[in-house]
Amino acid sequence: MKIYNTEDIRNVVLLGHSGSGKTTFAEAMLFEAGVIGRRGSTLGKNTVSDYHEIEQERGNTIFSSLLYAPWKDSKINIIDTPGLDDFVGELIPALRVGDTGVMMINAQHGVEVGTEMIWEYVDRFKTPTLFVVNQVDHEKSDFELTLDQVRNRFGNKVLPMQYPYNQGEGFNAIIDALKMVMYVFPDDGGKPKKEEIPDDHIERAQGMHNALVEAAAENDEALMEVFFDAGTLSEEEMTKGLRIAIANQQVYPLFCCSSEKNMGSGRVMGFIHDICPSPADVPPVELENGETLKIDSNGEKVAFIFKTVSEQNLGNMSFFKVYSGEIQTSDEFINADNDQHERLNQLYILHGKNRENVDALKAGDIGSTVKLKNTHTNNTLLVKGSNSKIRPINFPASRARVAVRPPNKSDIEKLANALHTIREEDPTLHVEHSQELRQTILHGMGSLHLDIVKWKIEHLYKMDIDFMEPRIPYRETIQKAARSNYRHKKQSGGAGQFGEVHLLIEPYYEGMPAPDGLSVRRQEEHPLEWGGLLVFNNCIVGGAIDAKYMNAILKGVLQKMHDGPLTGSYCRDIRVSIYDGKMHPVDSNDMAFQIAGAMAFKSAFQEASPQLLEPIYELEVLIVDDVMGDVMSDLQSRRSIILGMEAEGHFQKIKAKVPLSELYMYTSSLKSLTQGRSKFSMKFTEFAPVPHEIQQKLIEAHQEELQDA
């Protein structure tokens, strides 16, 4: 296998809403490059990139796949990515290591919500991007409307290079304004004939060409002078100007094609080869220490792991991009994240599931290796003495949660191992073994994401598991002050136990005055690990309780706050003042005062107008206009408070505060209401009082649970 120089590499990420034709386009690219002799299809379940069993079952991309296509003197690395928001964890690493995005747009549907979602990440990574309007051969294709939508959403930087001469079922020709020719394709696609542009299209094509010339000239002073003098640019000068403009995101070229008929993909590949940036042309990568690292084959060896896949018979396969130097087999590295030594015994380039051995990879190239012992996604491999640790990828917060349990307790350890392995592959999946809720909870990007986890466990690890609604991490507090006392007295032959505690509890808030009528000798603030505060006051006067027992009383109070009197939930934001009590010279001890403190607190809590608090999340929902009413009604049925609505591009954004208890499987409900034309994000904001009738039901349910235990 040829070793490619940095300037001859193109790293391309195929992007787009589900159904836009990314995988079919990838097949066309591989076929045009001569890598495969026959194009597969998603319906035929025989594409190179969608090779996983679950992808073939569902008929869409779930996992990103790495491919490559030799083109002229270059190597085009292709990463096919999923278009569903649930699998954004596959998209983000691909964009991180890609140098050019190819955004596929379905000519039937135009700019969809998935396109909007993906563009947020394109914008974050400042990825130079091409648009490809696909499926212009469909009977409902509307190229002009799609072009208008793309320009309205992404601005005048979108410049069409082409448009279909005869879109719809008879499509077989593209007018190319950059080359000023018309490509006419044979019935089975492939290499087109070049013909002159028909007279009735010359004016439009020339206008588009002139816009491209101006865009190319604007980014270079020398080209601008040539343009002013000659009124145009040569092909070589246009190539130079467009390369600068695209690399700086000043221009987003737009093409059209039918990937199913293989009409137009070769032209896009030629443009990628001729004009799109190589790794040597992109800005340096940011390092964790605030410095940057330029991609250079002559530099020190640095590689970044952006994806991990567990192969049952092979172990972990690590996908990496070489950011500096030339990496060879048998090279030894240090993991910058844990100082562990690693050796690369094998290097591969990939075509989906097929691996091809290579001896070396130069800076900018993408490959994989196997059996790294202590290296995971987001880790940097570098040589001894280097400080070029690459800044890790930030993944978005989860939006869905579900509790999981195996049918048998004997499978708990097996389940834990399976979840650990899956978590290694998927940084957007979080596994929480919650002692508070007494459940194992999976946090993911949506219901489909969690369903894929379930499928993996059942099919790959041969274990049946149950998903159920997770418990809610409620909190308990009080609304008014209350006093109580408790005497603990126990006599059992020898030394007994005696401790009496009088206390005042109050709802705590910042800046509150000292307790009325009490003199505070010592005040302690205890931030609680579950949030909120306990303020503990020693107000004992005259030595009624020795100071040495205060820690025991505090321990008893914290014990009850850990297991709240209402529902067993954690308590928070309470001030406790110990103002009186009794002790015995022989029978008093720490245990007696711990019990007395706990019981006095419990009794006072019940008299202090106890209040259950529930976690509230702020929701942002992005939807199309025609489902606004349905989504609003659904949110109101979930006890939400609507904070506002605003337009965002072609979509509407709803902001609302919603209790976590009302958001179980909201992803499924929203997709059903909007036919998938939506997305949402959520973040915790506060704890708020639970309505009285719901609080009573929760208390009753807790009491029944205690009786059944």
Provide the CATH number for the domain around residue 640: 3.30.70.240
For residue 578, give the 3-state DSSP assignment: strand
* 539 within 8 A of 579, measured Cβ to Cβ: yes
CATH number of the domain that residue 125 is part of:
3.40.50.300
Parent domain of 683: 613-694
Output phi, psi for 408, to 5 deg: -125, 140
Is 205 domain-assigned? yes
Burial of 442 (0-12, 13-18, 19+ CB in 10 A): buried
Overall domain count for the chain: 5
Is 703 domain-assigned? no
Residues 426 and 364 in one domain: no
Is 704 domain-assigned? no
In this prediction, residue 472 carries a pLDDT of: 96
CATH number of the domain that residue 445 is part of:
3.30.70.870
In this prediction, residue 310 carries a pLDDT of: 87
Which residues pair with residue 174 across a beta bridge? 164, 183
Output phi, psi for 230, to 5 deg: -100, -20
In this prediction, residue 311 carries a pLDDT of: 78
- Name 11's Cβ contacts closer than 8 Å, sequence gap at least 6: 77, 79, 97, 98, 99, 100, 279, 321, 364, 366
Distance CA 400, CA 293 (A): 37
Residues 649 and 577 in one domain: no
Residues 561 and 539 in one domain: yes
pTM listed for this prediction: 0.87
In this prediction, residue 709 carries a pLDDT of: 61
* 265 within 8 A of 135, measured Cβ to Cβ: no
Is 353 domain-assigned? yes
Distance CA 384, CA 678 (A): 48
For residue 163, give the 3-state DSSP assignment: strand
* 252 within 8 A of 159, measured Cβ to Cβ: yes
H helices present in 279-369, as ranges: none
CATH number of the domain that residue 351 is part of:
2.40.30.10
In this prediction, residue 635 carries a pLDDT of: 95
Residues 18 and 132 in one domain: yes
Residues 297 and 180 in one domain: no
Is 289 domain-assigned? yes
- The list of the chain residues with pLDDT below 70 reads 492-494, 709
Residues 450 and 485 in one domain: no
Residues 591 and 621 in one domain: no
Residues 501 and 642 in one domain: no
E strands, 567-609, are 570-571, 574-582
In this prediction, residue 406 carries a pLDDT of: 85
Residues 425 and 544 in one domain: no
In this prediction, residue 375 carries a pLDDT of: 94
Distance CA 304, CA 333 (A): 12
Residues 592 and 624 in one domain: no
- Of the residues 281, 297, 319, the one at which a domain ends: 281
Distance CA 412, CA 433 (A): 12
CATH number of the domain that residue 528 is part of:
3.30.230.10
Is 705 domain-assigned? no
Residues 525 and 580 in one domain: yes
* 16 within 8 A of 103, measured Cβ to Cβ: yes
- Of the residues 354, 382, 410, the one at which a domain ends: 382
Is 395 domain-assigned? no
Ordered DSSP codes for 97-148: H-SEEEEEEETTTBS-HHHHHHHHHHHHHT--EEEEEE-TTSTT--HHHHHH
- Of the residues 247, 281, 315, the one at which a domain ends: 281
Residue with the two structure tokens 């964009």? 95
Residues 439 and 545 in one domain: no
Is 56 domain-assigned? yes
